[in-house]
Structure formats: structure tokens, C-alpha cells
Amino acid sequence: MNAKINAFLLYVGPSQNEFIKELETSEMVKSIFLVTKEDIVLPTSKCKKLELGSMVSSSAVKAIAEISDTEYSIIITKEVNISFGYFAIERFEYIASSTNAGIVYSNYSDNIKGKLTKHPVIEYQVGSLRDDFNFGPMLFVKAEALKEAAANFTEEYEHAGIYSMRLSISKNWGIEHIAEFLYSQTEVDTRKSGKKIFDYVDPANRGVQIEMEKAVTKYLKEVGAYLKPEFTEVKFEDGDYPVEASVIIPVRDRARTIEDAVRSVMIQKTDFNFNLIVVDNHSTDGTTDILKKLAKEFNNIVHIIPERTDLGIGGCWNLGVHNNNCGKFAVQLDSDDVYTSDGKTLEKMIGAFYKENAAMVVGSYTITDADLNEIPPGLIDHKEWTPENGRNNALRINGLGAPRAFYTPMLRDVKIPNVNYGEDYGLGLSISRTHQIGRVYDSVYLVRRWEENSDASLSIEQTNAHNIYKDRLRSYEFKARKELVKKQG
């Protein structure tokens, strides 16, 4: 059998030698390149040292592309040990050659203290533009596609090389997912998903974010989905609104936190009238009684219990927004979170609409524990969002921030998906296609991380379901933006 594959892996030491021996014994593997700057003893005869400081830089991608003298390359960018399943390498090659794919990836298993746990990954879509899309630690890449991508670099990236390579390959080549568990990995980074969710907004990673934004912006320009910083003017009509702003809280069974949320609204200091619309989605734990008590204490609380029983969070939002008590602006508050105690959240959020002529405003928040004590990474201000390019970069990131506020006529026109996850992100993408999104960079919101909220540690299946849906929203928006760009000429 002809050797068709070169392997490139981040080498961390002798603990990987068993994996390297697997590659060594495969007749399909020609050479094994160990990426390291350390002085090492090569473990097998097929091994060669490749001195690179990183596996994810543009210079690394170009070096790998230049060395690639076989039809395919296995690229492993993480510090992991891998054990291949029976004829797994052959399976990768068969799918790659049969489909002429540029990249092939597969499901895998996690080896945790000798116990294998299946780790399925999801299908790649045109909207899978986020830089943290999980392919697993191993990419099986067609060398021709790799060389094309390497030649397409127009600037040097320290962190965004592999990301830019993937985007570039996706333009002309397929990205195929093998829904089979072809290998296992022993991972170094074992943090829970709830902690990993916020890696992309950790202030320490800002330099990474800037590079990723440059890479996705270049890609969007190349494929005709880039939007110039030109926005439709918002004409704020006085209209027949009972108040200037309405805070909307959808809630079901949050007896532990709902009173904190409500009282954080009631302390707001504004020079305009506001109310609170709580859509109580058939709570059974005492939440309803708490809300009835609070509605007697404060005369600007509207407590709604839907007639329908099929409403998700998005459906509850629709009910609140279309209620006659809703104000000119609708401001989000989750039932387990609170506005900051200075009472200035609404004033700052509503002020940004007029200051920036925005159809939607996104604030900044601080992450806390269940008792509202700040926990790392603390303030999340999404300063990677810029007025000029925020809406393009929004296709790369998995969230826009909190709290979110909307010009009510926009919401009544667009309608909100009746789901329990991602409905706000989809709205932000849709609105930003034509209108400016304003920003408040002060912390005006406290987000609890606790065992009962939707961003607590999720199972692999739950994480995948969320990511599939958000990728689908991005796919819709990506296609819509390409159509818009075509019409604009």
C-alpha cells in the first residue's frame, strides 16, 4: 500500500509514544512530524522534528503545507494522546478520497482515567463560522486544499492560522463529518463546559479575538457576505405606548431567584416611566404566589399567565412584547439574574438607543455565583464588538452579551422564535443585518452561574443541540446577507 499520509502533531513528550507507534505501524503513513522546540530523541524511524512555536499560527500552516508531499495530512493541534480504532486511518482516507473533501473529521471518545466516554460532534454547516467549532483534536486534510489555504494568507496570525485555513478550505472544498467513533483522546483541558463557554470573552484572550475577527472578516468579503458599516436609520415614533420602557421577564419555577430579579427592576432610577412585564409560564413551585405578592406591592408590575401551554422563552417574549402594556423599548432580564444595584441599568440602556440611533442595545455583565459574588472571568463587556464591524464579527461568536434591549416595533415585526435557547442571538443577527446595535460597556447586569440555569455544565448532547441550533441560525443569516449583498450590487 502506498503511503498517502503525513502526520503532524504537537509533541509533549514520551507519553505520546504509544500513539506515535500506532502511526509508525500504518502502511498509509509516510512521515510523522513532531512539532516542538525542545531537544528530543525521535521515538521511531518515521519521526522527524518540526521546530515550530505553535500549531495554530499562519506560519505553522504554511510550514505544514510546504512539507506536505503526500495526498493527505493528519493535523493534531492539541496536547492530547490519541488511540485509533480498528482501520480508522483507512476509514478517514476512504471517505476523503470518495468525497474529494478538503477536511474530514469524526466522532471520538474521551479517555478519562481509563474509562471511554463517547463524544459525538456535529455536522458542519455554512453557518459553522464560530472559531470554537469542535472538530475534535484531529483534522484529516487534503494536501491540495491545505496548500491553497496556505497561499491565501495575506497577513500573519499567531492564533488564527488553523481557523483561517478552515474557512479558506470551506470555500472550495467539502468538510465531511464521519458519524463514527474512530479514535479516543486523552485530553489535558478537563474544565467543565460552563467554564469553557466564557473562554472567548476572557480579557486575557482579547488578542486572540482580534485575530479571529480579522480572519472571518476576510472570509466574508471573499464569499460575498460582508456587510459594510451602512445602517438603516431608526425613526423613533412617539406612538401610543403606555411607558417608555418595559422590562420583560419570562419565568417558570424560579421561586429561589424571581424576587431578587423583580426588586432589581423596582429600584431603577429614571426620568421616564417604565413597567415590568412578567410572563409566568405556568410555574408550580411557588413563583406565581411570589409574583402576586410583588404585584400588590408595586403598581407597575404586569403579571401575565399565558393561556397557551406550548410557549418557550421566545414565545413568552412574543406574548410580552405584543401586550398592550409594553413600552416603546423592551429590555431583557432573566428570572435568575439581576440588574446592578446602582439603579442605573434602564437609564443607560435606553439612553444608548437615542445616542447611537440603534434598533437594539446590548449591555455588559458580570458573572457571579448563586449568591451574587463575582467569579472569574468577571466583567464581560464584549469590547470586540465595534460599530463598524460588530455585525460581521457576530457571525463568529456564540453570543452578543446581556442585557439586551429592543425597539419594540422591531420585535413586533420580526417575531421571536418560540424556543428556549438562542432566540436572542438569532434576533441580534437579524436586526444587525440592516440596523445599528448600540453598546453599553459599563456592567449593568449580574449573571448567575448556578446549577439550575441554562449555561451551567451541560452534557455533550445538550451542548451539541445548542450548537446545532445556533449554527443553523448563522446559516440562515449567512445566506440572507449574501442575498442582501447581491441586491445592493
Per-residue pLDDT of 394-428, as tens digits, reads 999 988 999 999 999 999 998 999 999 999 999 99
Residue 454's pLDDT is 53
Distance separating alpha carbons of residues 392 and 426, to the nearest angstrom:
14
In our burial notation (b when 16+ CB lie closer than 10 A, e otherwise), range 113-148 reads eeeeeebbbbebbbbbbbbebbbbbbbbbbbbbbeb
Q: Is the pLDDT of residue 453 over 60?
A: yes
Name the average pLDDT for the chain. Answer: 93
Q: Is the pLDDT of residue 173 over 60?
A: yes
- Across 347-461, the runs of DSSP E, i.e. the strands, are 360-368, 374-380, 404-407, 437-448
The pLDDT > 90 percentage for the chain reads 85
The residue type found at 432 is: S
Q: What angle do CA 459, 460, 463 make, to 5 degrees?
A: 85
Grouping H, G, I as helix, E, B as strand and the rest as coil, residue 444 is strand
Look at strands 29-35 and 5-10 and give their pairing: parallel
Q: Which of 461, 453, 468, 420 minimizes the C-alpha distance to 194?
A: 453
Q: What angle do CA 414, 420, 425 make, to 5 degrees?
A: 50
Q: Is the pLDDT of residue 193 over 80?
A: no
Q: What is the pLDDT of residues 27-64, one digit of tens each?
A: 999 999 999 999 999 999 999 999 998 899 999 999 99
Distance separating alpha carbons of residues 20 and 7, to the nearest angstrom:
9
Q: Is the pLDDT of residue 190 over 90?
A: no
Distance separating alpha carbons of residues 316 and 311, to the nearest angstrom:
6
Instruction: Please count the residues of the chain.
Output: 489
Question: Which stretch of 70-74, 112-116, 142-146 has the lowest confidence by average pLDDT?
Answer: 112-116
Q: Is the pLDDT of residue 200 over 70?
A: no
Residue 307's pLDDT is 97
Grouping H, G, I as helix, E, B as strand and the rest as coil, residue 437 is strand
Distance separating alpha carbons of residues 271 and 255, to the nearest angstrom:
31
Block residue for cell numbers 431608526 = 234
Mean pLDDT of 362-372: 95
The residue type found at 447 is: V
Question: Which stretch of 136-145, 316-325, 409-418 has the lowest confidence by average pLDDT?
Answer: 409-418
Distance separating alpha carbons of residues 152 and 155, to the nearest angstrom:
9
Q: What is the pLDDT of residues 81-95, one digit of tens each?
A: 899 999 999 999 999
How far, in Å, are 52, 317, 426 from residue 423 at the CA level?
42, 10, 5
Mean pLDDT of 327-334: 98
Mean pLDDT of 322-326: 97
Residue 1's pLDDT is 53
Instruction: With both helix axes pointing from N to C terminus, report the angle between 161-172 and 206-223 in degrees, rounded to the nearest 10.
Output: 20
Q: Is the pLDDT of residue 191 over 60?
A: no
Distance separating alpha carbons of residues 183 and 94, to the nearest angstrom:
16
Residue 196 banded pLDDT, cuts 50, 70, 90: very low
Contact present, 432 and 404 (Cβ < 8 Å): no
Return phi, psi of residue 132, to 5°: -100, 20
Proportion of the chain in helix, strand, coil states, percent, rounded to 5 = 35, 25, 40
Distance separating alpha carbons of residues 399 and 201, to the nearest angstrom:
10
Long-range Cβ contacts of 347-350 (<8 Å, 24+ apart): 347/268, 347/269, 347/270, 347/271, 348/440, 348/442, 348/444, 349/245, 349/403, 349/405, 349/440, 349/444, 350/244, 350/245, 350/270, 350/272, 350/405
Grouping H, G, I as helix, E, B as strand and the rest as coil, residue 350 is helix
Residue 202's pLDDT is 54
Residue 201's pLDDT is 45
Q: Is the pLDDT of residue 198 over 50?
A: no
Residue 79's pLDDT is 86
- 3 is written with which cell numbers? 503511503
Helices (H), 173-279: 193-196, 206-223, 258-266
Mean pLDDT of 94-108: 98
Burial of 473 (0-12, 13-18, 19+ CB in 10 A): buried
Residue 188's pLDDT is 53
Contact present, 79 and 88 (Cβ < 8 Å): no
Distance separating alpha carbons of residues 439 and 294, to the nearest angstrom:
31
Mean pLDDT of 359-368: 97
Look at strands 374-380 and 360-368 and give their pairing: antiparallel
Residue 316's pLDDT is 98
Helices (H) and strands (E) in the chain, counts: 15, 18
Residue 199 banded pLDDT, cuts 50, 70, 90: very low
For residue 306, whether the previous peptide bond is cis, meaning omega lies within 30 degrees of 0, is: no
Residue 203's pLDDT is 44
Distance separating alpha carbons of residues 401 and 332, to the nearest angstrom:
11
- Across 1-41, the runs of DSSP E, i.e. the strands, are 5-10, 29-35
Residues with Cβ within 8 Å of 76's Cβ and at least 6 positions away in sequence, in order, are 7, 8, 9, 10, 55, 82, 137, 138, 139
Question: Which stretch of 38-47, 116-125, 375-384 has the lowest confidence by average pLDDT?
Answer: 375-384
